[in-house]
Structures are given as structure tokens and as C-alpha cells.
């Protein structure tokens, strides 16, 4: 997930007070920034800093202003398209909720277009929002970029347009210590990449930063000042950019690819598996991404009991602007292993492993954007559906008048039963309130007609299917004592119902046998969340399970 960066102007206005810093250098971090998996590594101290408002000795040239900035280039320019890979450099992003984020850029990809003597590339900043192409001119054996240029542009529904301007910031050493210094906007605003014989692009100034700059004309109190560009914590350096040379594995012609499934806790993902002699090909390890069709190839052992998959290239992962490599590792994601090894049941067509792997943005590295441990992949047995797993009700939150939050039910309906994949187009479910099937009516819910059996994939403004068997629903009825979910399989005249999965703390069982003995007591708060007995203060729910299987739920005051 990408977030638009909005300049924090009051912070930038204090740039002159920044202390001198060492030249830009990446701190040692393991995990690559990935918002979806929250693997971003916030840096305790940034190596890149905003520009202080200082004078430069010698003749001062006229600094470009925002008025000198050409229009943003949003559409891909015409010309010869190619993908290149950064082999050095550092990116930094300042995102207020997370602070400063920094990463090595090796493995990040740059899209390029060449048209005559014009050269275009994007993104400017690999880990920040950067959706515009910047333009350079090819002169002899170098590419010359003239700034300012727009690096990112967002249009919002209310007509507001946010643009982020890219400016070149150069390193200025301090007189006291040449190893220390700060970054300031260069006067000529020219950035040059040398073109080497093999097509590699090399920065002529590896310390220069292509940074997000904001142009200040007043101080914090609104008084006019000598205008200057100040760095807004977001930018990148370049060492070299090389043409992409790695190739994705190819499946030989004639290999029959069969439909298998990757079985997870509550869901199944379709995959393709093919065998050619001692080689096995799997397609679908990165289902749901632009690399869903990338195959991996492994070697079947002589006794045909195991299959080993080494590290291999998966392609360009456009979601994160990086290369993607399958890298086997241990369960901690900290140690690289030679292979990801599956146990192979050839007769029953089953692959399973307790091993782990990461999707890394560089070869033989644990700089990862995704991590997977334990896989079970099997061919469908097409067994008839005879029973359904019980749904799992995770949480129920009643309405909160103080905050205005609506009452919400979170639940899971498993898509698999004993490793058999259930056809979701034949799955339905009921909401059960006080042992009665609840009817969803058009005047309460966004349904075309009254519904009791809700199709598994149905969604409206109050009912949400999030995939992988997970759902949440707004519950408008109130004053009920029990709440549950029941899944249903319907195929023609066949109807199979699961047991009811009850919301914790909201199960009502009448007539407890006087001779029954309590075997466990649980406590829940008013939101239906389980709490330890020590925290059960005030009004709470006490749930008692008896040795005859009966359950009582009562509200108590402790």
C-alpha cells in the first residue's frame, strides 16, 4: 500500500537549525519496507536531512523556482520501454505516523523509456509515493536531468491537487570535519548519469540526493525571507542502475499442468503443478499479485519422496517496484537455507513442508517483502461434501453510543474440510439470534429482497467478505441473548448445515442439570472479548462449561 506524502511545513521551516550530519549512508537493516506486512524498519536516526538555509561561497546562480517546474508527466512516454535494477543507493521516506524510514535500494526496479535523445524514468523515490516520469536528455555518453521536476501528483475528489517537487540536494562538508556536513539544494539543479558500455547508468555524484523539496518564501510567522528550497525527508541516491538480466523459469512444452490447491488454515488457493522427469513445476506461489503466473522449478529426489526448490528469480514485483526472489530460509526468516524441501506423496499427489521461504528483493538475501512458513499443496480429491466445519466467531462488539461505532460481528467460515476444498459458489450461511434464523430485510440491509441464506461471496454496505474465509457484518438488532453463525452447502436438492459457531459470551443454554459440575469458567467484557478473572470487574459475562457439555452464560457484577 502506498501513501501520499504531504509536506509538514512547520518542520521544514526549522531546517536552518539542523546540526551537520555525515554523508548519506544506509544503516544496516534486514527487512525491506512493505506496508502490507508492516515490515518497515523505522530508523532511530536518519542519515538524510533537510536542507538548512545557508549561503554558499562564490558566485551564486539564480536558483530555479516552482514557476520553472514543467508539468507532471503522468502517462508513459512513447519510445523503447525497458526495466532496470538499482545496484546501490539509499531511499528515505518521512511518513508522519511512522517517522523516518530508510532502506538500501539494491534490487529496486526503475522503469525507463528512451525516445531519440530523450530518456525518462520512474519512480524517482522507490519507497515513497512517486508516480511521475522524470525527463533527461541524452548527450554523448551521459544523461542530463534538469530540475525541478514533479515526482508525484495526486488529484483528490474535492478538486485539491497535491504535487511533490523533486530537487537535487548536494552534500556540503563542514569546515571543522570534512566527514560531517549537511545537504542543500544545488545551484545548477543538474543531475548526470554516465552511460557505460554495457548499458549501465552510473551516478556522477553518488552523494547527491534526488529529494522532495519545498520552496519557502516566508518564515513561520509569515514574514518574507530570501526564498530557498528545503528537503522534506524524502529522497533517494543512485550508485548504478543496470539493465535487468535475470530470467524467470520456463515450463517446457508438453508438460501437463494439473490443478492443485494450496491449503491454508481456513482457505484454499488454486495452483498448477506439473512433473517432467525429475523436475517439478509449481505456478501460483504468489497468487493475487502480478507474479501469480511465475513458475518455480524443483528437483525430485531419486526415491521420489522429496522435492527440493532452490533460490530462484520470480520476476519484477510491480506492487513494490522491486525484483522478487524465492529464498529458502529457516522459520525465523533470519537464516538462508540451500533449498525449500517438500515431502512428496506421488501416489496421493500431496506436497507438504514445515520449511519456510521469503520473497526477497535481491538474490541470496533476506531483504524480504513476504514470508511464508509451512505449506500443504495437494490435488483435489473431489470427494462429495458430507459435512461442514463449524464457523468461528472471533468477536462481537455491541454499538457504542459514545463513539458512534456500529455493532460488528467478525467471523470465519472455513473453505476447507479435512483438506477437501469446498465449492464456495455453493456455500451459504445463516445469522442465528436467540436460536432463530435472522432475516435480512431490504429496509435494514442493502439487499434486493428478504434473505436468510446469505451467499458466501455476497457483499453489501453492511456485510463484508474479506477473502480467506473471513467476514464481518454490522448487526442492527439488539437485546438478544445468543448470537451465532451456521454455514450451509446447497447443491440442487442437497442441503447440508454445519453446527452453529457461537459468539463468545453470548450463548444461552437453559435448564442446567443440578448434578453437573463446572469444568471451566471464562469471563468476557461487555464487548464479548475474553478477559482474565483478575480483570473481571464491574459488569461482565461469566461463561461456565459443565462436565455434561452444557454451558451457562450469565451477566454478573463483581
Sign of CA dihedral 184, 186, 190, 194: negative
Sign of CA dihedral 528, 532, 533, 535: negative
At residue 112, the pLDDT reads 98
Cell numbers given for 351: 506436497
CATH topology of domain 257-378: Lipocalin (2.40.128)
Q: Indicate whether 533 pLDDT > 80.
A: no
Highest mean pLDDT among 65-79, 432-446, 543-557: 65-79
Reported confidence tier of residue 497, pLDDT bands at 50, 70, 90 = very high
Reported confidence tier of residue 522, pLDDT bands at 50, 70, 90 = confident
Q: In angstroms, rounded to a whole number, what is the distance separating the alpha carbons of residues 59 and 43?
A: 37
At residue 417, the pLDDT reads 79
For residue 320, the SS3 value is: helix
* Residue burial 319-353, b: 16+ Cβ < 10 Å; e: rest: bbbbbbbbbbbeeebeebeebbbbebeeeebbbeb
Reported confidence tier of residue 404, pLDDT bands at 50, 70, 90 = confident
At residue 97, the pLDDT reads 77
DSSP tag of 76: P
Assign residue 509 a region: left if phi > 0, alpha if psi is -120 to 50, beta otherwise? beta
Helices (H) and strands (E) in the chain, counts: 1, 41
Reported confidence tier of residue 340, pLDDT bands at 50, 70, 90 = very high
Mean pLDDT to the nearest integer, 227-232? 90
482 Cα distance to chain centroid: 37
Reported confidence tier of residue 50, pLDDT bands at 50, 70, 90 = very low
At residue 62, the pLDDT reads 66
Reported confidence tier of residue 297, pLDDT bands at 50, 70, 90 = very high
Within a 10 A sphere around the Cβ of 403, how many other Cβ atoms? 7
At residue 514, the pLDDT reads 60
Tens digits of residue pLDDT in 355-381? 999 999 888 888 888 899 999 999 887
Reported confidence tier of residue 272, pLDDT bands at 50, 70, 90 = very high
Mean pLDDT to the nearest integer, 491-518? 73
Within a 10 A sphere around the Cβ of 300, how many other Cβ atoms? 19
| Proportion of the chain above pLDDT 70, given as a percent | 82
Q: Indicate whether 510 pLDDT > 70.
A: no
Q: Indicate whether 224 pLDDT > 80.
A: yes
At residue 537, the pLDDT reads 65
Mean pLDDT to the nearest integer, 152-163? 90
DSSP tag of 557: E
Q: Indicate whether 81 pLDDT > 90.
A: yes
Reported confidence tier of residue 37, pLDDT bands at 50, 70, 90 = very low
At residue 5, the pLDDT reads 23
Mean pLDDT to the nearest integer, 455-465? 89
Question: Is the CB of residue 115 less than 8 Å from the CB of residue 79?
Answer: yes
Residues in the chain: 558
Per-position DSSP letters for 352-389, written without gaps between them: EEEEEEEEESSTT---EEEEEEEEEEE----PPP---P
At residue 508, the pLDDT reads 42
Q: How high does pLDDT run on average in the chain?
A: 82
Which residue reads 462481537 in cell numbers? 396
At residue 396, the pLDDT reads 82
Question: Is the CB of residue 399 less than 8 Å from the CB of residue 405?
Answer: yes
Which residue reads 523503447 in cell numbers? 80
What value, to the nearest 5°, has the Cα angle with vertex 128 and ends 126 and 129?
Answer: 110
Tens digits of residue pLDDT in 117-140? 999 999 999 989 899 999 999 999
Q: Which has more pLDDT, 147 or 9?
A: 147
Amino acid at each position: 500500500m502506498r501513501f501520499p506524502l504531504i509536506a509538514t511545513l512547520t518542520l521544514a521551516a526549522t531546517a536552518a537549525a539542523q546540526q551537520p550530519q555525515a554523508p548519506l549512508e544506509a544503516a544496516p537493516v534486514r527487512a525491506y519496507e512493505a506496508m502490507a506486512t508492516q515490515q518497515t524498519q523505522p530508523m532511530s536516526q536518519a542519515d538524510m536531512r533537510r536542507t538548512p538555509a545557508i549561503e554558499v561561497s562564490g558566485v551564486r546562480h539564480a536558483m530555479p523556482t516552482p514557476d520553472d517546474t514543467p508539468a507532471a508527466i503522468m502517462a508513459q512516454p512513447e519510445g523503447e520501454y525497458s526495466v532496470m535494477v538499482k545496484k546501490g543507493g539509499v531511499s528515505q521516506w518521512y511518513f508522519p505516523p511512522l517517522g523516518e524510514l530508510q532502506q538500501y535500494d539494491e534490487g529496486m526496479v526503475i522503469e525507463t523509456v528512451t525516445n531519440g535523445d530523450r530518456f525518462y524514468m520512474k519512480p524517482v523515490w522507490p519507497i515513497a509515493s512517486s508516480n511521475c516520469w522524470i525527463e533527461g536528455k541524452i548527450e554523448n555518453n551521459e544523461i542530463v536531468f534538469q530540475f525541478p521536476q514533479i515526482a508525484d501528483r495526486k488529484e483528490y475528489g474535492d478538486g485539491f491537487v497535491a504535487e511533490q517537487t523533486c530537487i537535487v540536494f548536494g552534500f556540503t562538508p563542514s569546515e571543522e570535519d570534512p566527514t560531517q556536513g549537511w545537504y542543500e539544494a544545488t545551484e545548477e539543479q543538474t543531475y548526470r548519469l554516465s552511460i557505460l558500455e554495457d548499458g549501465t547508468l552510473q551516478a556522477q555524484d553518488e552523494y547527491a540526493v534526488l529529494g522532495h523539496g519545498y520552496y519557502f518564501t516566508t518564515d513561520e510567522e509569515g514574514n518574507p525571507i530570501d526564498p530557498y528550497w528545503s528537503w522534506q525527508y524524502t529522497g533517494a541516491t543512485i550508485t548504478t542502475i543496470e539493465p535487468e538480466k535475470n530470467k524467470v523459469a520456463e515450463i517446457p512444452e508438453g508438460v501437463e499442468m494439473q490443478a492443485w490447491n494450496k491449503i491454508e488454515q481456513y482457505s484454499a488457493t488454486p495452483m498448477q503443478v506439473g512433473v517432467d522427469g525429475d523436475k517439478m513445476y509449481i505456478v501460483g506461489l504468489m497468487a493475487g499479485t502480478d507474479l501469480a503466473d511465475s513458475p518455480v522449478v524443483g528437483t525430485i529426489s531419486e526415491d521420489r519422496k522429496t522435492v527440493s526448490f532452490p533460490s530462484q528469480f520470480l520476476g519484477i514485483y510491480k506492487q513494490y517496484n522491486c525484483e522478487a526472489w524465492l529464498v529458502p530460509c529457516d522459520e525465523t526468516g533470519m537464516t538462508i537455507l540451500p533449498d525449500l524441501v517438500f515431502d512428496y506423496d506421488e501416489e496421493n499427489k500431496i506436497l507438504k513442508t514445515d520449511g519456510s521461504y521469503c520473497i526477497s528483493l535481491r538474490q541470496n538475501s533476506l531483504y524480504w517483502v513476504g514470508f511464508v512458513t509451512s505449506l500443504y499443496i495437494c490435488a483435489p480429491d473431489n470427494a462429495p461434501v458430507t459435512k461442514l466445519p463449524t464457523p468461528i466467531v472471533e468477536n462481537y462488539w455491541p454499538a457504542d453510543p459514545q463513539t458512534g461505532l456500529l455493532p460488528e460481528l467478525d467471523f470465519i467460515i472455513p473453505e476447507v474440510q479435512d483438506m477437501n476444498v469446498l465449492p464456495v459458489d455453493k456455500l451459504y450461511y445463516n445469522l442465528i439470534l436467540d436460536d432463530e434464523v435472522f432475516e435480512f430485510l431490504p429496509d435494514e440491509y442493502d439487499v434486493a429482497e428478504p434473505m436468510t441464506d446469505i451467499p458466501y461471496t455476497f457483499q453489501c454496505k453492511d456485510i463484508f467478505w474479506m477473502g480467506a474465509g473471513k467476514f464481518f457484518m454490522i448487526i442492527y438488532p439488539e437485546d438478544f441473548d445468543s448470537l451465532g453463525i451456521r454455514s450451509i452447502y446447497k447443491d440442487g436438492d442437497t442441503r447440508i448445515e454445519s453446527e452453529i459457531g457461537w459468539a463468545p459470551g453470548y450463548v444461552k443454554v437453559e435448564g442446567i442439570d443440578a448434578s453437573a459440575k463446572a469444568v471451566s469458567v471464562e469471563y468476557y467484557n461487555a464487548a464479548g472479548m475474553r478477559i482474565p478473572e483478575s480483570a473481571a470487574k464491574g459488569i461482565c459475562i461469566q461463561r461456565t462449561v459443565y462436565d455434561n457439555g452444557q454451558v451457562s452464560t450469565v451477566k454478573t457484577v463483581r
